[in-house]
Homo-oligomer: A and B are copies of this chain.
Amino acid sequence: MTSPDLPSADPADLRRLLDGRWAHIRDLARRHLRGERFRPVFGLGVEEHRERVLGQLKEIAATEMSSYGFSGDHGGADDVGGSVVAFEMLVCDLSLMVKVGVQWGLFGGAVQALGTERHHAEFLPGIMSLEIPGCFAMTETGHGSDVQRLRTTAEYDPATGEFVVTTPDDAARKDYIGNAARDGRYAVVFAQLRTRGEGHGVHALLVPIRDAGGRPLPGVRIEDCGPKAGLNGVDNGRLWFDRVRVPREALLNRYGDVAPDGTYSSPIESPNRRFFTMLGTLVRGRISVAGGAGSATKAALAIAVKYAEARRQFDRPGSGEEVRLLDYRAHQRRLLPALARTYALHFAQEELVSTLHDRHSGEGLHDEHGQRELEARAAGLKAVATWHATRTIQTCREACGGAGYLAENRLPQLKADTDVFTTFEGDNTVLLQLVAKGLLTNYRQEFGDLDPMGMARFAAGQFLGAVIERTAARSLIERLVSAAPGRGDASDLRDRGWQLKVLEDRERHVLDGLARRLRRASAGGDAFAVFNDAQDHVLAAGRAHIDRIVLEAFVAGIDRCPEGGTKALLDKVCDLYVLSVIEEDRAWFLEHERLTATRAKTVTQEVNRLCRELRPHAETLVDAFGLADEWLAAPIALGAEAARQEAQRAHAAGRADEAAPTG
């Protein structure tokens, strides 16, 4: 089964394009994360698993990988983008990935971003070397999504020059905190800061929680969260503070400080703006999760595609051979659009990481519009990428049948480990609403409350109509769009300009409609009812926006590829991405008269045709992810199925020999 119209792609080219700007870090990870120490394992008990992951973490601490995210002044490598890419490469065990993220991303990242020189000098070297393992203690049992309302307090006592950190009740205990149950010695604790009887909102403090012997310090209570669906190599725990005293200097004081006499000061006057600025510095966490979800999705697809290429079931009439799973239309439909979207998200992720990195390297650090845009994209991509991971890994498990249910084939662990990605670093439903809010205010309003109801109030204000801000390769995309044939005619569904226009048009229409609806309704009435009636519309707006920016990033990525087989292959993958996005939402396009019934059916036919055309290239496409066989680990993806078929053929041939007349 070949596709004569497609010149063959060069796998090395494809890999190089995907590896992108941080190819050297990907290669380093491929060389380093090998052998017995980093082999994926399964069936470990919780304590054994934690021990193994801690050992891996120590090994990584001894390499440059632990230094990427930190400032050069204290031994770091000043490579924020590199830190995100390195995180993403830890696909050998997602517990290790998350533990790395906790130590050097969340904990270390908060000290770097929210602390000042005194914290950097004292703590960063120990954080990088793992002498100071730490926690990021933000989430409370009662308030996961609504961080602004968390209830741990840090009250300044000028008599002793200390903060008193207190957990008022069980709803305010810190919960799901990685590194807390076993290894953490410090925690960055987010608490309501109070001084001189006045509250100043959420701030972070560095609080020691265990002594050198690993015993909880006085006043600190620690509980193990116990077994989880996955990620059992990470020691999540709960923390309570019973009037724990820490020195005034424990406050990470970049955005707010308390003088010895208790006077509060901050470079940012508005408490709301201050809070969101602090949160904004932590955006890397969300970007990392999107990247990690992408890696897990790639691994699952690599396993399922390789198995579907080898596995046969049911006779092909007249051929005497059984049909390979990947030759079935239904099987292609399950795997190939998901593979196309994985490619699209890869390019969007690469673009986002680059943007993050460039901002950190000083370009545009004070460009507030750019920061808001970065945060909105990070939120949206995290939501879309993690939902895609959940859905795709599930599909891959099913596509591998019973074999996909066995732990040795890795899919169960990939599924269970990534399951919480849709929840942590911001619940996806909340994040998509954040994206929509950003779009509604057209990035030009003061940023307000994180709570969704804030949206209804926003919409009642100034609204200038949806503005589509192009992101990647602006001029290329404008050229494509303006060259596209008019909407609704018989133009080629594979015209990139038409595709871009379709997704832009949907985004604009959904957003305009939402704004009109919120404004109309918010004139009278209860803000909650108004928001709530429109909640699905809000989520659709967020999704439409992300679909479009992902496509733009894909188009820009392909543009970086020289003409030839690799580019031609990627063009088809991009077609499949955008047409399956349109197909999935074709009810909307029909309802809004963007597609006729006939044309909607043609979209489905075209998705089928693209599946058939891409089917011979599926294995090339998953190989280009560059995931080592050792990391995939699944025997069904690495020849076990093929070997069994070989044995079966040999057996059949033996029987044929026996039956053959001799002489």
Mark the stretch among A88-96, A168-176, A200-208, A348-356 that contacts chain B. A168-176
User: Contact check: which of B398, B451, B647 meets A423 at CB < 8 Å?
Assistant: B398
Pair A536/B330 contact, Cβ less than 8 Å: yes
Kindly identify which residue among B323, B398, B527 contacts A422, using a CB–CB cutoff of 8 Å.
B398
- Given known pairs A420-B405, A644-B142, the reply for A46 and B43 (CB within 8 Å) is yes
Q: Which residue of B lies closest to A398 (CB)?
A: B422
A228 on interface, CB distance cutoff 8 Å: yes
Interface string of A393-432 (1 = CB under 8 A from B): 0100110011011111001100110011011100111000
The segment out of A212-220, A313-321, A437-445, A497-505 that lies at the interface is: A313-321
Interface string of A621-659 (1 = CB under 8 A from B): 000000000000000000000011101101100000000
- Of the listed residues A144, A168, A317, the one surrounded by the most CB atoms of chain B closer than 10 A to its CB is A317
Evaluate contact between B170 and A644: CB separation under 8 angstroms: yes
A532 within 8 A of B: yes
> How many copies of this chain does the complex contain?
2
The range of chain A's interface size is: 35 or more
Which of B229, B313, B329, B528 touches A536 (beta carbons < 8 Å)?
B329
- The answer for the CA separation of A394 and B593 in the assembled complex, in Å, is 34
Q: In the assembly, what is the distance between CA of A457 and CA of B532, in Å?
A: 53
- Pairwise interchain contact A405-B419, C-beta atoms closer than 8 A: yes
Stretch at the interface among A13-21, A182-190, A584-592: A584-592
**Chain B residues, CB < 8 A from A587:** 586-587, 590, 600
Assess whether A117 is interfacial by the CB under 8 Å rule.
no
What chain B residues lie within 8 Å of A427 (beta carbons)?
401
- In contact, B407 and A315 (Cβ under 8 angstroms): no
Contact yes or no, B412 A228, CB < 8 A: yes
Closest B residue by C-beta to A644:
B171
B227 in contact with A43 (CB, 8 Å): yes
Contact A328 B532 (CB under 8 A): yes
CB<8 Å pairs between A and B, sample of 19 = A144-B402, A146-B322, A149-B322, A169-B644, A171-B645, A171-B647, A172-B648, A175-B402, A226-B406, A229-B412, A230-B405, A230-B412, A405-B420, A405-B423, A533-B608, A587-B590, A587-B600, A590-B590, A591-B601
Q: Which residues of A contact B (CB under 8 A)?
A: 42-43, 45-46, 139, 141-146, 149, 151, 168-172, 175-176, 225-230, 313-318, 322-323, 327-330, 333, 390, 394, 397-398, 401-402, 404-408, 411-412, 415-416, 419-420, 422-424, 427-429, 451-453, 457, 526-528, 532-533, 535-536, 539, 586-587, 590-593, 597, 600-601, 608, 643-645, 647-648, 650-651
Not counting A144-B313, A168-B648, A587-B587, a sample of 4 additional A-B residue pairs whose C-beta atoms are within 8 angstroms of each other reads A315-B451, A317-B526, A329-B533, A329-B536
